[in-house]
Amino acid sequence: MTILVFSGILFAGALAAGLLGSLTGLGGGVVIIPLLTIVFKVDIHYAIGTSLISVIATSSGAAAAYVKEGFTNIRLGMFLELATTAGAIAGAFLATYLPTSVIAILFGIILILSALLSFVRLADPVTTGGPGELSRKLRLNNTFPTPEGEKPYFVKNVVGGFIMMNIAGIISGLLGIGSGALKVIAMDNIMRIPFKVSTTTSNFMIGVTAAASVGIYLKRGYIDPGLSMPVMLGVLGGAFLGSRVLAKAKTASLKMLFALVILVLAAEMIYNGINHKI
């Protein structure tokens, strides 16, 4: 296989990963890492480093469009980034000491957990009652656009969401997936935010989280420009496409897509991890 063909395949896979990551708030890593490790037999540490670069590209590509459309809760995202960046740095240090097979199995388990929680709640949470005291003091409550006009929502369980975000940051630094899945779950299931708001706010956050840990991978030599460049360009293109689709997409359909894709990828990663093929 020539370098040109290899780069073209990587670009195509990254384009699909960027589209999926943008629509669901996952980041492209959930597709990029299995593609590199299972199909191309790339060392998982290099795959994680490449994935983190793609995560930054996904966030950069989609975040601006979502902010302009009024979905992203910028104040909430910046508050929760305090937790995710601290966790990401810790996770990146931990990743360099764990066996690759263990990282692969952990990757699969996290994705299965994300899929199961996505199946549990297919409808947007219904916000009842007034805002919590902490969310009111921090001014985290906001509105988001709907076909019927701007709809208000209240942020619940701020402390629980903050703790979950710290865990999401550790997973991001350890597995290189941007931890968008856990961020969406934290905001959707714990903080009771509408799904489209949690998805877009996750996209806003994942780039900062990834940037906090990618420096550690760069220092240890796990960033390969030959892998990172086509992946970054593909993911960036997919992210722009996703930002155009999200506003018209149905929430239930997005969650079904989210769950089905990552279940398949999770099974592959766990199988290969157990058999020490990664």
The structure tokens listed for 178 are 């941007």
Quote the pLDDT of residue 205: 83
SS3 (DSSP) at 193 = coil
Gap between the Cα atoms of 251 and 199, Å rounded? 10
Average pLDDT over residues 136-153: 85
Closest CA to 255 of 66, 93, 124: 124
- In this prediction, residue 138 has a pLDDT band, given cuts at 50, 70 and 90, of confident
Summarize the confidence of residues 17-36 as an average pLDDT.
73
Query: Whole-angstrom Cα distance, residue 177 to residue 251?
Result: 22
Alpha carbon distances (Å) from 235 to 75, 170, 206, 211, 247: 26, 23, 14, 16, 19
8-18 pLDDT, tens digit per residue, is 988 998 888 77
pLDDT at residue 48 is higher than 80: yes
pLDDT by residue (tens digit) across 233-272? 888 888 778 767 766 666 566 667 767 777 888 888 898 8
| Alpha carbon 152 to its chain's center | 25
Q: What is the pLDDT of residue 120?
A: 59
Q: Is residue 123's pLDDT more than 60?
A: no
pLDDT tier at 105, thresholds 50, 70, 90: very high
Please give the pLDDT value at position 236: 81
Q: At what angle do helices 3-24 and 225-245 cross, to 10 degrees?
A: 40
Tell me the two tokens of residue 234.
């593909």
